[in-house]
Copies of this chain bind each other. A is one copy, B any other.
Amino acid sequence: MKLSTRSRYGVRAMYELASKYGKGPITLKSIAEKQGISESYLEQLLVSLRNAGLIKSSRGAQGGYQLTKDPKDIRIGDIIRILEGPIAPTECVITEETDCRNADKCVTRLIWKEVKESLEGVLDSITLQDMCDKAKGKMIN
């Protein structure tokens, strides 16, 4: 039940971009330095996030990356889905349908479904904005 480093690094990088939202492009290099992540590895993650439309890039000198939308509109779940696929503890609950012909197996499937829903509930309830707020101690919760 561990998250991959893709997700963990990705969330940190996105938080970094969120904290500088509206201030122009941020370089890969500076994100990597600030978060202590390998540049070349982080680059791959940013490419995925860009292809998915969560961030945009500008090439050349003074280039870099920035969010395509407001931090309050980007959920942690969005980032994780892009970087490591569907949020589900098992293959059989990725979609609603299943080819679960064995009744016994289906009993366990009910559990995995609950787990999935719980996971999505949490991850889709937290936005990058929430993270920024918490960082500044503005969050009561």
Contact = CB atoms under 8 A, between A and B. Distances in A.
Interface in A1-52: 1-3, 8, 11-12, 15-16, 34-36
A77 to B, nearest CB: 10
Contact of A131 (B11, B36, B107): B107
Number of copies: 2
A114 B119 CA distance: 10
A115 B103 CA distance: 30
Contacts of A111: 11, 76, 126, 131
Interface of A: 1-3, 8, 11-12, 15-16, 34-36, 76, 80, 84, 87-91, 102-105, 107-108, 110-112, 114-115, 118-119, 121-123, 126, 131, 134-135
